[in-house]
Structure 1
Amino acid sequence: MQDIHPAVRQIALLCASLEADGTLRAELADAGLSEGTWARMTEAVRRGEADRLAPMLEELEAVAERAGLDGVTVTSRAYQVLPDSDPPSRTISGWRCPHARPCGRAEVGADPGTERRCALTGDPLVWASVTSR
């Protein structure tokens, strides 16, 4: 199984940051991030072109740093294996990224009747269920 591309992980964090902070996009624009960069990122996300995202995310992080904004697309997280569970299989459901190369963002346990959208592209998230065995 292939791991999630690092740029796609960064897009997941960016999407969550944009949703959590309604002023973030304007703050980045005021600090020098162009609408053209936003448009190119949106296009690359929609097409699943993770390799094209790296230089744009570097630019975004440099602009964020100049503006004194931290953690826009990077964070420190650690993977921990879940303890043995009973029953041996479990299903979780929630909204997930709709793009060709999903970013990994998921809103688990969210209301399936309330549509969610990608904060970067505006595209509707997709309702999905995953069963572990």
Structure 2
Amino acid sequence: MLAWLCCVGSAAPPRAGEGDRIRITRPAPAAATRRPRGQAATEDGAQIAASLDLGETKQKPSFPAGAVEQTAAVFAALAAAPGPRDAKALAAEFRRTKTTEKKVAEVLASLARLGYVATADGVHYALRRVA
């Protein structure tokens, strides 16, 4: 009787023959009735599998704020370029802001003045090739 009073509300009363054992009754967990995450819907008991290839979406890096980092970013972009590039084409490799193209043009102009990049027309720049 004491076992039955202790478990009122949270457990069922002991059955005959179970002695002092308390049988806890609880509803089935909700997760058991739902599909696990990532599992495809089933049709007639068979699993349906479908692949969806979205490809890798690569985010463009932001243009650095510091002068040293900006210079390094422009050098890296010029090194990866197959040929001479203008400021607009180099700025397109970075996340666009209002001043990205202007900053890239300023870095290119200063690198050209220092002799690190070559330009024939003052618009298209390439890394200086040393023999």
- TM-score bin (small chain): under 0.3
**TM-score normalised to the size of structure 2?**
0.26
TM-score (norm 1): 0.26
Give the number of the structure whose alpha-carbon radius of gyration is greater.
2
